[in-house]
Structure formats: C-alpha cells, structure tokens
Amino acid sequence: MDYELERSLVTLEEIATGARELRAVRHPLGFLCLPLLREGPRGVCVHLFETDHRPEPDASPLHCHSWELRSRVLYGRVANLPVHTTVVADGEAGATHRVFEVRSRSDGVDEIQPTSLLVRSEIGPAHVTSGGESYTLAAGQFHATALTGEAPAATLVHGFSIPGQVDLSLGPLDGRPRRTTRRLCDTGQSVRSAHTVLRRIDAQQRA
C-alpha cells in the first residue's frame, strides 16, 4: 500500500471513530465529498458515488477544473467521459453549448455565470477505471464522470490548483445564470460515509 493511500485511510478511520470531526459535503453533481486535506494549492478528498444520489437539476455534468486531478478508484468502477470542444464564432451555426464560469462562494453556493463563448462539443468514448487503478486530468480539460452499472464506487482525489485557471461548465445556449449549492452533511451521515468507504475497501481487498 502506498503512503498517500495509507495516510488517507488513517484519516478515514479517525473520522469513522469520532477522533476527527469532519463534515461530508453533498456535491451538486450527485456525489458525497469527504475533504481530507486542504493545504495551499493542494487538496485531497474522497468522492462517494452511490446509485441513489442524483445531481441537482441546474448542475451540468460537463465541466472542467481549475486544478490538476489524479483520481484513484478505491472500489467499484468509474467512467470518465472526455468532452472535446470547438469554439464557434458568434453568429456561426453548429454551437451546442455555452461556456459558463463557476464562481464558488465560501457558504457553499456556486454562482454559474454565462460567458460569451459558444462551443460545439463531442463526448468521446468513456475511459473506465476499476478499483486499484488511477486516471489523471489536466486543468481545463472538459469531462464528465459517471458510475458504470449499479454498483457504488469511491475515488481518492488529489488536486493541485493552477494559477490563472477557472472552473467552467457547459450549459444551454440561452445563457441563463444559475446557482447550485454544496450542502454540508450532519455528523452522523459523515461518520457513516467514512464507515462505508472503509468497509467496502476491506471487502474488495478480501475478494
């Protein structure tokens, strides 16, 4: 077991036993996030994907981050869908989406503001990553993440913010501003989420 994974599992055990207080976050895209570390431009978190979690109606699954991402699948199978975009000039036919800037506030609200940029987007073939495997994404690379099948999954995500990059999403051409909210879970649900991750990792290792 590598050092980063081992340290993350120790943190999850501290959360599960109550030795460390940490609140999980319900992300607008429909997964739970356990933010294990925030240290300057670097962050480490665990994402839990459950089949009964649904994204908010105004949350676009097509997005790109302002940070480099390395994601290790702890259990289950995760599909990463690359999205290829081509800028469409104003007045030119063929645009499928407008680019929106996602401005995250400290209270958990994300203001999703339209830009003047129109694009034609194509979703590429899914890259499926299974438990124990990893994938990387560059900052500014549009993509979508989804479960494959009915089994739950979790990923250990390492992010590193890149100066000058902003969080973006692809949305409807009408350019309507939108708003989504990252909601804190209560302590009980946060503890149960940590227990769930540890139990399923243990089950996979024994399989």
Cβ neighbors of 42 (< 8 A, separation 6 or more) are 158, 159, 160, 161
Listed residue (44, 43, 53, 50) closest to 75, CA to CA = 50
pLDDT recorded at residue 25: 96
DSSP result, 128-189: EEETT-EEEE-TT--EEEEE-SSS-EEEEEEEEE-TT---EEEE-TT---EEEE-EEPPHHH
Q: How many CB atoms lie within 10 A of CB 108?
A: 14
Q: What is the pTM of this model?
A: 0.91
pLDDT recorded at residue 9: 92
Could you report the per-residue pLDDT of 158-171, keeping only the tens digit for each?
999 999 999 999 99
DSSP state of 151: S
Decide the pairing of beta strands 25-26 and 183-184: antiparallel
pLDDT recorded at residue 154: 96
pLDDT recorded at residue 203: 83
pLDDT recorded at residue 175: 83
Could you report the per-residue pLDDT of 44-63, keeping only the tens digit for each?
999 999 988 788 888 899 99
Listed residue (137, 116, 113, 106) closest to 60, CA to CA = 113
Phi, psi angle pair for 15, to nearest 5°? -70, -45
Return the structure tokens found at 90: 């104003």
Could you report the per-residue pLDDT of 107-117, keeping only the tens digit for each?
999 999 999 99
> Taking each helix axis from N to C terminus, what angle separates 3-17 and 187-206, rounded to the nearest 10 degrees?
130
In tens digits, the chain (207 residues) has pLDDT values of 587 888 899 999 999 999 999 999 999 999 999 999 989 999 999 999 998 878 888 889 999 999 999 999 999 999 999 999 999 987 788 999 999 999 999 899 999 999 999 999 999 999 999 999 999 999 999 999 988 878 899 999 999 999 999 999 999 998 899 999 999 999 999 999 999 999 999 887 766
pLDDT recorded at residue 207: 60
Determine the Cα–Cα distance for residues 163 and 169; give it in Å rounded to an integer. 18
Is residue 14 helix, strand or coil?
helix
DSSP state of 204: H
Phi, psi angle pair for 122, to nearest 5°? -135, 130
Determine the Cα–Cα distance for residues 10 and 22; give it in Å rounded to an integer. 14
